């Protein structure tokens, strides 16, 4: 089914006899089983006001189309949505709906927030076929409950999004990456924490124990006017002098490529095993990595996001010990399928709320729970 309007989508859901598999560009995998419900017909930018920093588009709109429209006005999606194709080995075209439904966010999350923080409004069709809107297209809105956040990252469990309005931001004059080579994980997190605790507005802080050049590399990103880059780079070099030599990458393409490598966890592309993503407090990152004993580790978000490539079928959560946070199984092998849940199990009272919401929004159980990723 490829509905081309909300009304058609509503009719399709009302008449559905069994489970539906919601599909945008099909790049993130795992939206369940059943009749494919393709959102590609709900495509196109319906409103873009550069002076108001707002854009509204259909859920099926390719992210590339949105990024091209924004680039023409020197603006961007500041939350830097991760493109899952590299690590999942999927093809297809990432869509706005997919970004919204998975709350796909990149390295800049630590400074500006996640996709959910840039979503101003949504329209969706729930499991009973009701067309619902929430939020709007203005930056500040506290009119009623914020269902936009509930839909963000809900993986289509509560409804099929048809339209999303977004806050966008200007592209800064330049970006630069400060690099420190050779730090161990704990030193790297300390260096990143010191930088993130400075007034210099770090917009990316990542560490790869096994970087693109084969050695440990710690990366810090600054963005802004050239005067700001020059000043901040010098100040950060002073602040972090104790951690070793710092090189500055100001070539725009190379700097951008480096952060795309982090954003998409490209380190783990074409490698065997299951891929996990842990969200913890940054200072817990190195201890978690030690406990996991993974084949590959990549730290983003100053150490708070730990990507781990593990042998197939390993329940990485069992290694967390007392570390607070949670792990998501992003890429699942056949060995893990059906034995390891994709999302971190919720405590009973929270699971009760989740189940209650799913029962209300999808009373016939047409939308799959999030169990089976690619």
Partner 1 sequence: MQMPTPDARVLGRKAEIVDRLRRVLPADAVIDDVAETRAYECDALTAYKCPPLAAVLPANTDEVAAVLKICHELDVPVVPRGSGTSLAGGALPTADCVILGVSKLNDVLETDYDNRFIRVQTGRTNLSVTGAVEEEDFFYAPDPSSQLACAISGNIAMNSGGAHCLKYGVTTNNLLGVTMVMMDGTVVELGGAHLDAPGLDLLGVICGSEGQLGVVTEATLRILRKPEGARPVLMGFDANEVAGACVSDIIKAGVLPVAIEFMDRPCIRACEAFAKAGYPDCEALLIVEVEGSDAEIDHQLRLIMEIAKRHNPVELREAKDADEAGRIWLGRKSAFGAMGQINDYMCLDGTIPVSELPRVLTRIGEMSKEYGLDVANVFHAGDGNMHPLILFDANKEGDLEKCEAMGADILKLCVEVGGCLTGEHGVGIEKRDLMHVQYAPADLEAQMAVKDVFDPNWLLNPAKVFPLDASDARRALDVAAE
> What is the C-alpha separation between 178 and 258, in angstroms, rounded?
11
Contact flag: residue 279 with partner 1 (CB under 8 A) = yes
Contact flag: residue 174 with partner 1 (CB under 8 A) = no
Among the listed residues 8, 231, 291, 313, the single contact to partner 1 using CB under 8 A: 231
Minimum distance from residue 373 beta carbon to partner 1 (Å):
14
- Angle at which helix 285-292 crosses helix 185-196, to 10 degrees, equals 160
Closer residue to partner 1, CB minimum distance, 62 or 288: 288
> What is the C-alpha separation between 134 and 248, in angstroms, rounded?
44
Contact flag: residue 321 with partner 1 (CB under 8 A) = no
Look at residues 32, 23, 45, 35 and name the one whose alpha carbon lies nearest to residue 97: 23
Closer residue to partner 1, CB minimum distance, 170 or 293: 170
User: CB atoms < 10 A from the CB of 128, how many?
Assistant: 15
Closer residue to partner 1, CB minimum distance, 40 or 59: 59
Q: Which residue has the tokens 């849940």?
A: 341
> What is the C-alpha separation between 172 and 74, in angstroms, rounded?
9
Closer residue to partner 1, CB minimum distance, 335 or 357: 357
Interactions with partner 1, residue window 326-365 (CB under 8 A): 326, 328, 343-344, 346-347, 349-350, 353-354, 356-357, 360-361
Interactions with partner 1, residue window 81-110 (CB under 8 A): 103, 109-110
Minimum distance from residue 317 beta carbon to partner 1 (Å):
11
Site string for partner 1, 195-224 (x = CB under 8 A): -xxxx------------------------x
Element (H, E) at 114: none
Contact flag: residue 53 with partner 1 (CB under 8 A) = yes
Q: Which stretch binds partner 1 (CB under 8 A): 26-34, 37-45, 188-196, 249-257?
A: 188-196
Contact flag: residue 157 with partner 1 (CB under 8 A) = yes
Contact flag: residue 7 with partner 1 (CB under 8 A) = no
Strands (E), 136-245: 159-167, 169-170, 174-181, 204-208, 217-224
> What is the C-alpha separation between 209 and 282, in angstroms, rounded?
15
> What is the C-alpha separation between 141 and 149, in angstroms, rounded?
13
């Amino acid at each position: 089914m490829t509905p081309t309007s909300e009304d058609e989508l509503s009719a399709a859901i009302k008449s559905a006899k069994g489970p539906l598999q919601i599909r945008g560009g099909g790049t993130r995998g795992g939206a369940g089983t059943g009749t494919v419900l393709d959102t590609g017909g709900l495509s196109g930018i319906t409103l873009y006001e550069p002076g108001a920093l707002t854009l509204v588009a259909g859920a099926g709109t390719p992210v590339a189309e949105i990024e091209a429209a924004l680039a023409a006005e020197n603006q961007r999606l500041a939350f830097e949505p991760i493109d899952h194709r590299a690590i999942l080995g999927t093809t297809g075209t990432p869509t706005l709906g997919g970004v919204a439904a998975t709350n796909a966010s990149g390295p800049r999350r630590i400074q500006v927030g996640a996709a959910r923080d840039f979503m101003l409004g949504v329209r969706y069709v729930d499991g009973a076929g009701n067309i619902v809107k929430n939020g709007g297209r203005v930056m500040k809105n506290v009119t009623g409950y914020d269902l936009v956040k509930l839909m963000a990252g809900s993986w289509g469990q509560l409804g099929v999004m048809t339209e999303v309005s977004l806050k966008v931001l200007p592209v800064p004059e330049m970006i630069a990456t400060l690099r420190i080579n050779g730090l161990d994980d704990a030193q790297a997190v300390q260096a990143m924490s010191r930088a993130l605790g400075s007034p210099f507005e770090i917009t990316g802080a990542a560490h790869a124990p096994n970087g693109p050049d084969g050695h440990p590399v710690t990366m810090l990103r600054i963005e802004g006017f050239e005067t700001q880059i020059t000043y901040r780079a010098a100040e950060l070099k002073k602040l972090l002098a104790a951690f070793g030599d710092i090189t500055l990458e100001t070539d725009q393409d190379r700097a951008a490529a480096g952060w795309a490598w982090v954003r998409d966890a490209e380190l783990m592309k074409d490698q065997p095993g299951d891929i996990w993503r842990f969200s913890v407090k940054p200072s817990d990152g190195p201890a978690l990595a030690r406990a996991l004993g993974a084949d590959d580790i990549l730290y983003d978000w100053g150490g708070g996001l730990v990507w781990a490539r593990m042998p197939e079928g390993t329940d990485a959560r069992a290694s967390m010990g007392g570390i607070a946070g949670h792990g998501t199984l992003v890429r699942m092998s056949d060995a893990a399928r059906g034995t390891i849940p994709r999302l971190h199990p919720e405590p009973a009272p929270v699971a009760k709320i989740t189940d209650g919401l799913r029962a209300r929004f999808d009373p016939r159980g047409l939308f799959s729970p999030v169990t089976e990723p690619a």
